[in-house]
Amino acid sequence: LFASVELVPGDPILGLTEAYNADSRPDKVNLGVGIYYDEQGRIPLLDCVREVEQKLAADAKPRGYLPIDGLAAYNLATQKLLFGTHSPLLEAGRVATSQTVGGSGALRIGADFLKRALPNAKIAISNPSWENHRVVFGTAGFEVIDYRYYDNDSHGLDFAGMLADLGALEPGTVVLLHACCHNPTGADLSLEQWQQVVALVKDRGLLPFVDIAYQGFDVGTEADATAIRLFGESGIPAFVVASSYSKSFSLYGERVGALSIVAADREEAKRVQSQIKRTIRSNYSSPSTHGGALVAGVLGSDELRARWEQELGGMRERIHALRAGLVSKLAELGAPEFGFIQQQAGMFSYSGLSKAQVDRLRDEFGIYAVGTGRICVAALSQQSLPKVAAAVYAVSRG
Ligand code: PLP
Ligand code: TYF
């Protein structure tokens, strides 16, 4: 029956972890997948999460289904975190939010909804972008086009190219934007650059689709939501936000995300939400209970929320220190040209290493990075740093 079914190549990033796991070298380092590891090389379980989890276990509840669009307390807390506690959009009832199966689920439900609502719209994504963006929107039936984003030579944003390409898009085109901590490059827009992009998007009648998977990993939860806040203040009639707590709560496997759609008014938001619910219903019916309850439990308590901000700040500051450490080690070794790594934001750095250099890192040193040269800085440790710096230096001079 399935004789003609073709074998699909594995995900390049997740495939790296498989290869890493199979490697028997004791000092191997996995800088492939986008996961934050602590100094001991473990995925942290945040204290604030542990506390809610213990309370939930002590007062164990039956597991009924959640509503199609998830836990109301979770959605409300998510809206405040994204749009601001006193957002006029929220007060006007213009935002329809649904708990989704991770940020990935938010992207896919959003894509399916948009394809139905705007069947002729195309989507523009940054070049490069998280590879799954192209896959998700392509699978939902979108024609995916690129806009310029990254300049390999300067290791930073190609902002002029970005503006030129966005300015040439047909009105009505959906534009996928990374709110902060761009995956894979680590190159972000400044406040002034965001203001220009928001003005351009508004002028041109484009539909922003903001992906925020790393809120709190660059500057803080408020500052990292700048793009959402600016679109919120801009007066545009609609935009979409896909958000994820996978990283910010270190809850990768709980699949905690949300889709928020800003509509023109309360009544439009209601109609949009009814469509979103239908889309979810026909995919997975309703989200799971546990992860949402953890996040809602933390964000619903002033004390636990403050502790979360503190723990998130700890992860953020540790990444900043690892960036600085890597840059200074490389400079010490005689490779000062890697200074740009310190300007990049979030978990990732586009290191500028070629595919051949990445292959050498793996084969000769047991260091795993993505073939594009993306390294996950959040997977370094003070212990692995000297080895990684020496290896990067060696392959960059080879
Ligand atoms: N968007 C971006 C840019 C990401 O990097 C990721 C995860 O790596 C996601 C969305 C999806 O996150 P989740 O694991 O919550 O599905
Ligand atoms: O490292 C990255 O860019 C991601 C990580 O269900 C990832 O691809 C892995 C699994 C998943 C979502 C994201």
Predicted-complex ipTM score = 0.95
Q: Is 99 in the pocket of ligand 1 (CB under 6 A)?
A: no
Tell me whether residue 130 is one of the annotated catalytic residues: yes
Does residue 247 have an active-site annotation? yes
Q: Which two tokens stand for residue 375?
A: 């390294």
In CATH terms, the superfamily for domain 12-45+305-397 is Aspartate Aminotransferase, domain 1 (3.90.1150.10)
pTM: 0.97
Q: Which fold has domain 72-300?
A: Aspartate Aminotransferase; domain 2 (3.40.640)
Q: Domain locations in the chain?
A: 12-45+305-397, 72-300
- Identify the residue whose C-alpha is closest to ligand 2 atom 5: 34
Task: Return the HEC string of 287-351.
Answer: CCCHHHHHHHHHHCCHHHHHHHHHHHHHHHHHHHHHHHHHHHHHHHHCCHHHHHHHCCCCCEEEC
Which pLDDT value is given to residue 9? Answer: 86
Active-site residue 329, yes or no?
no
Nearest-ligand number for the alpha carbon of 378: 2
252 lines ligand 2 (CB under 6 A): no
- Tell whether omega for the bond before 128 is within 30 degrees of 0, i.e. cis: yes
Predicted confidence pLDDT, tens digits, the chain (398 residues): 999 999 998 888 888 999 999 999 999 999 999 999 999 999 999 999 999 999 999 999 999 999 999 999 999 999 999 999 999 999 999 999 999 999 999 999 999 999 999 999 999 999 999 999 999 999 999 999 999 999 999 999 999 999 999 999 999 999 999 999 999 999 999 999 999 999 999 999 999 999 999 999 999 999 999 999 999 999 999 999 999 999 999 999 999 999 999 999 999 999 999 999 999 999 999 999 999 999 999 999 999 999 999 999 999 999 999 999 999 999 999 999 999 999 999 999 999 999 999 999 999 999 999 999 999 999 999 999 999 999 999 999 97
Q: According to the model, what pLDDT value does residue 12 have?
A: 81
Whole-number Å distance, alpha carbon 216 to ligand 2 midpoint, is 18
12-45+305-397 and 72-300 have identical folds: no
Q: What is the pLDDT of residue 13?
A: 85
244 CA distance to ligand 1 middle (Å): 7
CA–CA distance, 28 with 293 (Å, rounded to integer): 36
**Dist. CA 233–CA 374, nearest whole Å:** 34
Cβ of 130 less than 6 Å from ligand 1: yes
What's the 34 CA to ligand 2 centre distance in angstroms?
Answer: 6
Contact by Cβ (8 Å): 56, 297: yes
Nearest CA to ligand 1 atom 6: 213
Distance CA 328, CA 326 (A): 6
Looking at the CA of 103, name the nearest ligand: 1
Helix segments in 141-289, DSSP class H: 159-167, 191-204, 226-233, 266-281
Q: Name the residue of 130, 182, 251 to mutate for ligand 1: max ligand atoms within 8 A of Cβ.
A: 130
Which burial class, exposed, middle or buried, applies to 158 when counting CB atoms under 10 A from its CB (0-12, 13-18, 19+)?
buried
**Residue in 104, 182, 243 to alter for ligand 1 test, most ligand atoms within 8 A of Cβ:** 104
Do residues 295 and 77 touch, judged by C-beta distance below 8 A? Answer: yes
Ligand 2 midpoint to CA 91 (Å): 34
